[in-house]
Amino acid sequence: MVNAYPRTLKDALTLRAEGRRPMGGGTDLMVRFRSAAGVLPRFQQSLVFLRGVDELKNLEERGDLIAIGAGVTLRELCESPLIPVVFKNIMGQMASFAIRSEATLAGNIGNASPAADSLPFLICRNASLVLTGQRGDRTVSVADFITGPGKTLLADDELIREILLPREEFTLSFHKKVGGRRSDAISKLSFLGEARREGNNLFDLRIAFGSVAPRIIRSEEGEALAREVFSRGGNTKDIEGFYEKLITPIDDQRSTAEYRKTVSLNLLRRFMEKLREQ
Amino acid sequence: MRKDISRSIGKVDNREKSSGSAEYINDRSWEGEVHYALTLRSSIVKGKIINITFPSAREDVHIVDYRDVPGKNFVSILEDDWPVFAEDRVSYLGEPILLLCGPDRTVLEEYRSRIVVDYEEESPFLTLQDAVEKSDPIVSYTIDTGDYAGASEKAARTVKETFETGRQEQVYIEPQGVVAEYTEEGVVLTGSFQCPYYVKNAVINTLGWSGEKVRVIQAVTGGAFGGKEEFPSLISCQVAVASVKLKKTIKLIYNRHEDMEVTTKRHPSLISYEAALDGDNRILGVKMDVKLDGGATTGLSAVVLQRAMIASCGVYHFPAVLATGGVYLTNTVPSGAFRGFGAPQTFFAIEMFMNHLAAKVGEDPVAFKTKHLAKKGDATSTGGIYRDDILMAQMIEEVKKMSGYAEKYRLYSEKGNPRGIGMSLFLHGCGFTGSGEADHIKAKVYLERDEEGRVHILVSNVDMGQGFKTTMMKVVAHSLDIPLDQVVFNNPDTKYVPDSGPTVASRSTMIVGRLLVEACEKLQKETGPARVEANYSQPDYIKWDQDKMKGDAYPAFSWGVNVVEVEVDRDTWETTLLGAWSVHDVGKAIDDRIIRGQVDGGFLQGIGYGLWEKMELKEGRVQQATVTDYIIATASDFVTVENKLIDNPYALGPFGAKGAGELTLIGGAPAVAAAVEQALGAEVYRIPLVPEYLMELKKNG
C-alpha cells in the first residue's frame, strides 16, 4: 500500500529509512504489481510516495551542469528550455503523453531496466546522480549506479535527490529508438551516437546501445577505435566487429536476439556514415 | 423537403462517450451485496484433472464449478464442445475450471493462489501444422464450381503458392465483463455484448430454465470486433450459474492481461492456391485449400471456414473453382469471431497470389487483376449470380487518381528503391451466409409509438461504437419524416426487444435497417400509440445448398479498393506508412461520417493485421498478452486516409444501404503487403510483416 505521503525531504528520508520503496510517478510500479481487475496492486513492500516533496522539483542550471530534481516529470523536461533537444526527442518517444506527465526521470533511472530509454543518453553524457540519505549526500555516475537489470547502488535508506547533466555541445547527435510502434512502445533496441567534429578534427565521439545487454553498452575502447577508424578513413566493419562482442541481446516477446544485434550494428554504421558526411 | 440521408449528423452517443459519462460494465453500481468472481484456470495445456486441493474453507469464498450447472455444461454455439466449466479434463492453457465468488476480491485472489490442481498431462497439438499432420479436421467443406480438372488439363501452365496468416486480437476498449443479478423473476445478465439473444439462449441452455426467467441487457459496449460475439455467452453462463447457486449478484470483470490470454482470437490459417492459366495468361480456374486453426473448441469455426472458402475467388470471376477447407483443433486459446470472419485470411492470400501471378507472366498487377474482375451476371465462387452492378473498374480508376498509383508504382519499381505502393481489391458478402438469415436468425423488429408520439426502436442489435443507434434513428426519422429527437433507441433489453439477430456479419444496417423501414411503413398506417412488427423473409431468388456449398451465399456484396504507400528502412526493417487511399461501395451511406469511422478504423485494423499485430504462442501460452507487447498502432503510426464512397444503392437495403462493418478491414493487409513487397523487392507469403520477418526474408533471399 502507498500510505506515506511526505511533504518534505526530511520526512521522506525518515520514511525511506523504515524500509519503504520510493515511488515517483508510479508508472512502472503500478504496472509491475498490478492485480486482478478492481484489486489494488500487490506491492511487496510499503512505499513512500515522493510527489508531494517540493524540494525534489528543482530544475536549474548550476555552473556547467543542469540539475534535475528527482520529482521532475518527463513532460516537464520535454517542455524546459534547459534540456538539450536530442534528449527531449528521446523522452518524447517514451510511453505516451499521459504517462510522461506522471513519470519522473529519476524513476526511469531507479527502475534500472536495460530498456530504459533515458539511460543511453545519460550515460553518453556522463550524467551523475546525487543520492541522499540520513548520513548525507554522495554523487555517483549513472553508468556506475546501474549494476544490472533492476539493480542499482541505491542504499536501503537513500533516495535519488537529483540528476546532474553536464552542459555540452555536439555537432552530431544520432538517436534511434526501435520499438514495435512510434509511441507507447518499449524499445526492442536503441542507439545513440554523438560527436563533435570541426572540419577534419573529431574532438569527441560517444556511442551507446540500449536494450541489447544487461546494462547499457558504452565503451571507451570502442569509442577510441571509432575515432581512430574515422581519422584514417578506415572501414566501419572494424568498429562493428568490436561492438558485436559487447552486444548480447535476448529473444523475447518483443523481438529476437538476431534482429536486435543486426539492427544495432546497422545503426552504428549509419552513424559513422553520417559523421563522414558531416 | 427531406435532406440527403447520407449527410452527417453528430452521433447520438457522442456526448456520453467524449465526456466520460458513459458507464461501461465495470463503472456501474448495483443494488445490494455484490459478490465478485475470479476464475481458476488450467495451468497446463492438455490433460486430466486428477485432484483439486483447496485451502481451508472460508465463509467469504464460494466455489462454483461444473457440478453446480443445473442444465447443460456447454456453451450453446454450434457444437456442444465448449464447457462452461472444465469437468475432468482441460484442453488449453487458461481454460476455466471454476469460479471463486465473494465480497472481497483481494481475499479471492489470495485464496486462488493457494489452490493446487493436480493434472495428468497429455501430449498436445500446439500448432496448426502439428494438428494437420496428426489429426483430421473436425469440419470440412468443398466448393466445386465449373470443372477445375478440365481447366487444369487445358492449361498452358499452373502456378501454386501457399500463404500463412497469424492470430489477431480484437483489443476492444473495455475487457470482457458481465454481471448476473438474482431476482424473484429470474436471473438478469448485464454486460458488454454484441448479441444479447446469443447470451440469453446460452444461459437458458446452461440453467435449463425457461426463457422468461432469463433477461439480458446490453451495457455500453466500447468496441467488440467479433470478440463479444460468442465469448460473452461463456462468462454469462458462468455467472448465471454462480448467481443462481449463491442467490447473489455476481460480477465478473476481466483485466486486460487475462482478457488477452484467454478470449477468442482470429483464426490462424494456412492457405494454398493453384491457378491454371491459358496461353494468353488468363486464369481458367483456381484450386484453393484453407486450413484454419480453431483452437481448443469448435465455436464458430465452421462458419468462419465457410466465409474463408466462399471468398476463394476474391473479386474475380474464374470459370472453375475447386475449394477445399478444414478446421483443425489445437490445444490453444479458442479462435473465434473477428471482423471479417475468415475473409481477411483469404483476401490476403488471393490478392498476393494475383500479384505474384502477374509478376510471373510479366503483366502489371492491376491490369492483370482488372481483366479478371467479376461483372454483373457472372457466377460467384459458389455458382450463385452477381445480380447487382459491380463498379470495381470505376473504383480502381478513382483510387489511382487519388493516390497517384501508376506514377508511383513505376517510380518505385526501380531496383533498390525503399518505397513501395500496393493495391488490394476486395468485397464482403453482407448478412449471414446462405440461408442463415431465413433458417436460423428469422429476424423480427418492433417499432412502437407512445402516447407522446415518440417512436421506440425495439431491436436486439447493439451500438458498440460503430454508430448503429444513430444510423437506425436516422433510418426511422427519415422514413417517418419526423425529427430525430422523436426517435428513441435504448440499449437492448430482452425483456422488451424481439430477437432481430446478432450484431454481426455486416447484417445489422442492411437487414435490420430494412425491417425498420418496413415497420415504418406499417406504423404510418396507424394513428396514435401503436406497435408494429416486421419479420425477415428471404428474397425468393436466393437459393443455397449448405451441404454442397452451392448457390447464392449472400444477397448482396459490398466492395472496396485500398492503396497503401510505404517506406521500408533498410537498417531497421521497419515499415513506415506514407499514404492510404480507399474507395468503397457500401450501397448508400446512411451517414457519411459514420462510414468514415468504419473506414479509418477498419483500414488501420487491416493494416495492423498485415504489418504489426503479432501474437505468438509458446508452449500454448500467449506471448504478447499486454497492450504493451501486442502492437496495435497508435495515431502516430497511421496516416490520414483519403476515402471516397461510390453510391450503388441496393434495392433491398434501407435507402440502398449495404453492409460496411467488416468490409473496411479486409483490404488493409494485402494492400500493405503488396507495398512492402515492392519496397523490399521480395515476395511475401505470410503476415504480419514485422521487421524481424522482413530482415530474415531479405537475408535468406
Tens of pLDDT along B278-322? Answer: 999 999 999 999 999 999 999 999 999 999 999 999 999 999 999
In one-letter notation, the amino acid at residue A108 is: N
Q: What is the CATH number of the domain that holds A79?
A: 3.30.465.10
Question: Which of B177, B573, B637 is facing A181, going by the closest CB pair?
Answer: B637
Residue A189: which domain range? 172-277
ipTM of the complex: 0.96
**pLDDT above 60 (res B74):** yes
- Kindly state whether residue A33 falls inside one of the protein's structural domains: no
- Contact between residue B217 and residue B492 where contact means Cβ atoms under 8 Å apart: yes
Question: Which of A38, A258, A262 is facing B105, going by the closest CB pair?
Answer: A38
CATH of B436-535, one of 1.20.120.530, 3.20.20.140, 3.30.365.10, 3.40.50.300: 3.30.365.10
- Kindly state whether residue A223 falls inside one of the protein's structural domains: yes
Total residue length of chain B: 701
A161 and A105, same structural domain?
yes
Average pLDDT for A159-164: 98
Residues A225-277 have pLDDT tens digits of 999 999 999 999 999 999 999 999 999 999 999 999 999 999 999 999 999 99
Model confidence band, residue A36 (pLDDT cutoffs 50, 70, 90): confident
Q: Which of B477, B482, B475, B487 has its CA nearest to residue B511? A: B475
Average pLDDT for A31-37: 87
Residues B618-631 have pLDDT tens digits of 999 999 999 999 99
Q: Does domain B33-122+176-253 have CATH number 1.20.120.420?
A: no
Question: What 8-state DSSP symbol labels residue B464?
Answer: S
A109 and A138, same structural domain?
yes
- Kindly state whether residue A109 falls inside one of the protein's structural domains: yes
Question: Which of A176, A180, A182 is facing B636, going by the closest CB pair?
Answer: A182
Last residue in a domain, options A103, A132, A166: A166
H-assigned helices in B127-247: 128-134, 148-154, 196-207, 231-246
Model confidence band, residue A159 (pLDDT cutoffs 50, 70, 90): very high
**Per-residue CA distances from B118 to B66, B121, B250, B437 (Å):** 17, 9, 28, 46
A241 and A270, same structural domain?
yes
Model confidence band, residue A1 (pLDDT cutoffs 50, 70, 90): low
Place of cell 502492437: B631
Asked if B106 lies within 8 A of A40 by C-beta distance, the reply is: yes
Domain layout of chain B by residue ranges:
33-122+176-253, 269-378+386-433+549-700, 436-535
- Contact between residue B356 and residue B683 where contact means Cβ atoms under 8 Å apart: yes
**pLDDT above 60 (res B601):** yes
Residues B93-105 have pLDDT tens digits of 999 999 999 999 9
Residues B326-375 have pLDDT tens digits of 999 999 999 999 999 999 999 999 999 999 999 999 999 999 999 999 99
Domain count, chain A: 2
- Cα separation, B144 vs B285, whole angstroms: 11
Model confidence band, residue A278 (pLDDT cutoffs 50, 70, 90): confident
Model confidence band, residue B1 (pLDDT cutoffs 50, 70, 90): very low
CATH classification (class only), B269-378+386-433+549-700: alpha beta
Asked if B629 lies within 8 A of A263 by C-beta distance, the reply is: no
H-assigned helices in B44-126: 105-113
Measured between CA atoms, how close is B104 to chain A, in angstroms? Answer: 9
Place of cell 436466393: B542
**pLDDT above 90 (res B583):** yes
- Kindly state whether residue A230 falls inside one of the protein's structural domains: yes
Q: Does B105 touch chain A (CB under 8 A)?
A: yes
A186 and A239, same structural domain?
yes
Last residue in a domain, options A166, A197, A221: A166
A149 and A182, same structural domain?
no
Q: What is the DSSP string of A8-48?
A: SHHHHHHHHHTTPEEESS-TTHHHHT--STTS----SS-EE
Residues B5-63 have pLDDT tens digits of 999 999 999 999 999 999 999 999 999 999 999 999 999 999 999 999 999 999 999 99
Grid coordinates representing B333? 486459446
Measured between CA atoms, how close is A176 to chain B, in angstroms? Answer: 10
- Kindly state whether residue A176 falls inside one of the protein's structural domains: yes
- Kindly state whether residue A90 falls inside one of the protein's structural domains: yes
State the pLDDT at residue B524. 97
Measured between CA atoms, how close is A45 to chain B, in angstroms? Answer: 17
- Cα separation, B246 vs B287, whole angstroms: 56
- Kindly state whether residue A218 falls inside one of the protein's structural domains: yes
- Contact between residue A208 and residue A218 where contact means Cβ atoms under 8 Å apart: yes
Question: Which of B623, B636, B691 is facing A183, going by the closest CB pair?
Answer: B636
Place of cell 468490409: B663
Question: What 8-state DSSP symbol labels residue B437?
Answer: I
Question: What 8-state DSSP symbol labels residue A83?
Answer: S
Place of cell 463498379: B391
Residues B487-530 have pLDDT tens digits of 999 999 999 999 999 999 999 999 999 999 999 999 999 999 99
State the pLDDT at residue A2. 57
Tell which of A93, A100, A113, A181 to mutate to test the B interface (max B CBs under 10 Å): A181
- Cα separation, B408 vs B417, whole angstroms: 11
A187 and A158, same structural domain?
no
Q: Does A185 touch chain B (CB under 8 A)?
A: yes
Q: Does B629 touch chain A (CB under 8 A)?
A: yes
Q: Does B113 touch chain A (CB under 8 A)?
A: no
Model confidence band, residue B2 (pLDDT cutoffs 50, 70, 90): low
Q: Does B36 touch chain A (CB under 8 A)?
A: yes
Query: Residues of A numbered 253-272 whose beta carbons fall under 8 angstroms of chain B's beta carbons: which are they?
Result: 253-256, 258-259, 262-263, 266-267, 269-270
> Is the four-CA dihedral B226, B232, B233, B234 of positive or negative sign?
positive
- Cα separation, B328 vs B335, whole angstroms: 11
State the pLDDT at residue B560. 98
Nearest residue of A to residue B628, measured between CA atoms: A185
Q: Which of B658, B664, B540 has its CA nearest to residue B598? A: B664
Side-chain half-sphere of B689: how many Cα atoms within 13 Å? Answer: 34
Grid coordinates representing B655? 435507402
Q: Which of B444, B432, B667, B477 has its CA nearest to residue B590? A: B477
Residues of chain A with C-beta less than 8 angstroms from the C-beta of B572? 176, 178, 263, 266-267
A120 and A195, same structural domain?
no
A178 and A259, same structural domain?
yes
Strands B186-191 and B214-218: parallel
A272 and A180, same structural domain?
yes
Residue B357 phi, psi dihedral angles, 5° rounding? -60, -45
Last residue in a domain, options A139, A166, A193: A166
A69 and A107, same structural domain?
yes
Q: What is the CATH number of the domain that holds A243?
A: 3.30.390.50
Average pLDDT for B407-436: 95
Residues B164-209 have pLDDT tens digits of 999 999 999 999 999 999 999 999 999 999 999 999 999 999 999 9
A179 and A155, same structural domain?
no
Tell which of B259, B572, B616 to mutate to test the A interface (max A CBs under 10 Å): B572
- Contact between residue B294 and residue B222 where contact means Cβ atoms under 8 Å apart: no
State the pLDDT at residue B516. 98
If you average pLDDT over every residue of chain B, what do you get?
97
Q: Does B258 touch chain A (CB under 8 A)?
A: yes
Q: What is the DSSP string of B24-61?
A: BGGG---SS-EEEEEEEE-SSSSEEEEEEEPPSP-TT-
Question: What 8-state DSSP symbol labels residue B635?
Answer: G
A233 and A154, same structural domain?
no
Strands B177-183 and B444-449: unpaired
- Kindly state whether residue A217 falls inside one of the protein's structural domains: yes
